[in-house]
Structures are given as structure tokens and as C-alpha cells.
Amino acid sequence: MSRKSHPDQGDLFHQPVYPSRMADQNIELTEALGQDSFSLATLNAYTAESNETHDISVVRLKAFVRATGANWLWDLIVADDGLTMLVGDEARLAEIALVQQERAALDDRLRQLKATPVHIVRRQR
């Protein structure tokens, strides 16, 4: 007899393909940049469209996204590589779709195996 576990109960050995993650709300702007002080005005000046000589580092871009709340920038950055940004628990939807796809493939394989009769050879004892 098998017992069904609660959906919130974790599995020590399962590693989701698409883990759900939440942003750490405790990181300060200066902490994200690894500096003692850094103002939002400085960050805005650094990322200004009129400043054509600056290539923003990933660390500063991350701080800018956090400071402005413009999470959509991450999706814009990876879009031309054919990637899509998932936020938080949206990743679980991708995991669900993957499991459904794997289940359908197993169902197809099982149908194929059942389609051909199994001939059992009786052995004398």
C-alpha cells in the first residue's frame, strides 16, 4: 500500500529542471555592487541612454534592475538568444509541462509494447 505525500512535502533526491526561485528582498543597492556607497542618481547617470561610452557591467545592470523594478529587462536581454524569462513559481509551470511531455512519451511507448502480442513459451518441469 503506498501513501500519497502532501504536495508541499519535498523530495530529498528530486532536482527540478526548472527550479522556482524568489528574489532576495534583503539585498541593498550598495551591497549588490560590492561598494560602501552608491546612489541611485549615480546608477541612473551610468545607465543613461545619452552616455554612449559606458558598457554597463552585469553587477551594475543587476543593481539597476533591482533599483528600478524593471525585471522585464532580463527577458529583453536574453530574448535574442531564444530564451524566455520565468519569474518565481512560473518555473513550476514549465516543470509541469515537461513531466506531462515525459508521461505522454511513456504512454506512447507502453502502447507500442502492448500492440504486439507476447507469446509465452510454456516450459516443462
Place of cell 528582498: 25
Q: What pTM does this model have?
A: 0.54
Query: Would you give the end-to-end CA distance of the chain in angstroms?
Result: 34
* Total number of domains in the chain: 1
Task: Tell me: pLDDT of 1 over 50.
Answer: no
* Residue 123 counted as domain residue: no
* Residue 5 counted as domain residue: no
CA distance 125 to 118: 21
- Grid coordinates belonging to 102: 515525459
* Residue 4 counted as domain residue: no
Residue 66 lies in domain: 29-115
Tens-digit pLDDT profile for residues 20-70: 777 777 766 766 666 667 677 777 777 777 877 777 788 878 888 888 889
